[in-house]
Amino acid sequence: MEEIMNYQEHVDKAIKWFWDALPNLLLAILLLVVGTYIIRVINKLIRKFFAKKDYDPSLETFLQSLISIALKILLFVLVITQLGVQSSSLVAIIGAAGLAVGLALQGSLANFAGGVLILLFKPFKVGDFISAQGVDGTVKEISIFTTKLKTFGNQIAIIPNGQLSNNNIINYNAENSRRDKIDVGIGYDSNIKKAKDILLQICNDNKDIHKDPAPEVYVGELADSSVNLTLRFWADNDTFWKAHFYVMEEIKYRFDAEGIEIPFPQRVVHQMKE
């Protein structure tokens, strides 16, 4: 009988606690719902604001992510406080949790710091074509922790900002134009001067290739089975690859038409007589 009374006493206390906490619980739920809606509205207004202003797209994405996370953290603190957690206790909990999370997420913190450094020093921006971490692609988005690249194959490569900020980056759009370098081998019996004239004529026939600085051709190497010529020319970033592939194709067509051999490795097998 005594056990039943103790059980009933615990149930009564639980029911009393529930009814006492219900108003705060309902207010916390209401605050969470309203706060989530307000954050969504604020994020939408921020996107509209940046759309009207001519800001750096890299900075826009980073600030939007940062503001969204900050607002969510603020909402979490407000909801927890509404549930009756004391501010001093909450600060202690957040401090301890922050230390634990900081130790556990050192890489993420490094990525956040890397994102800040990228925005400060601007080694690249959204729309630039870069090569980093073994990936070539166009920068699509710079967020708080990662940078997204769109590759030639229309794939999305996600690279942590910490690695980007601490390693080599080649930005092909840092300047308005680029110089191409194409190596082509000809046979030792072929006329070098004639081959050089053909390569220069190919460049002169293409409107996308700069005439100033003028294209140049020189003998780069006397290899085992070929004389390797090096062709260099300049083109705007927008038409660089178009010019590159044009030159590669024309070299084959015109060398064939003029009887200039492009040698390829061959292996001769001799059979020994018994």
Instruction: Give the phi and the psi of residue 226 in degrees, each rounded to 5.
Output: -160, 160
CATH topology of domain 115-171: SH3 type barrels. (2.30.30)
Q: DSSP per residue over 108-161, as a string?
A: HHHHHHHHHHHHHH-S--TT-EEEETTEEEEEEEE-SSEEEEE-TTS-EEEEEH
Looking at residues 26-42, what average pLDDT do you find? Answer: 83
pLDDT score, position 185:
95
Q: Which of 14-23, 218-227, 260-269 has the lowest mean pLDDT?
A: 14-23
> 46-83: b or e for each residue (b if 16 or more CB lie within 10 Å)?
beeebeeeeeeebebbbbbbeebeebeeebeeebbbbe
Total length of the chain: 274
Alpha-carbon radius of gyration of the chain: 33
CATH tag, 8-104? 1.10.287.1260
3 state DSSP class of 105 = coil
pLDDT score, position 89:
58
pLDDT score, position 226:
93
pLDDT score, position 98:
59
CB 186 within 8 A of CB 255: yes
Query: CA-CA distances (angstroms) from residue 116 to 77, 138, 247?
Result: 25, 20, 41
**What are the residue ranges spanned by the domains of the chain?**
8-104, 115-171, 177-257
Count of other CB atoms within 10 angstroms of residue 259: 9
The string of pLDDT tens digits covering residues 100-153 is 555 445 567 788 788 888 888 888 988 899 999 899 999 998 888 889 999 989
Q: Which of 13-22, 90-99, 180-189, 219-228 has the lowest mean pLDDT?
A: 90-99
CB 236 within 8 A of CB 176: yes
pLDDT score, position 37:
86
Looking at residues 66-80, what average pLDDT do you find? Answer: 79
Looking at residues 65-87, what average pLDDT do you find? Answer: 75
Report the alpha-carbon distance of residue 217 to residue 200 in Å, rounded: 7
Q: What is the largest CA-CA distance in the chain?
A: 113
Among the four given CATH numbers 1.10.540.10, 3.30.70.100, 1.10.8.50, 1.10.10.10, the one describing domain 177-257: 3.30.70.100
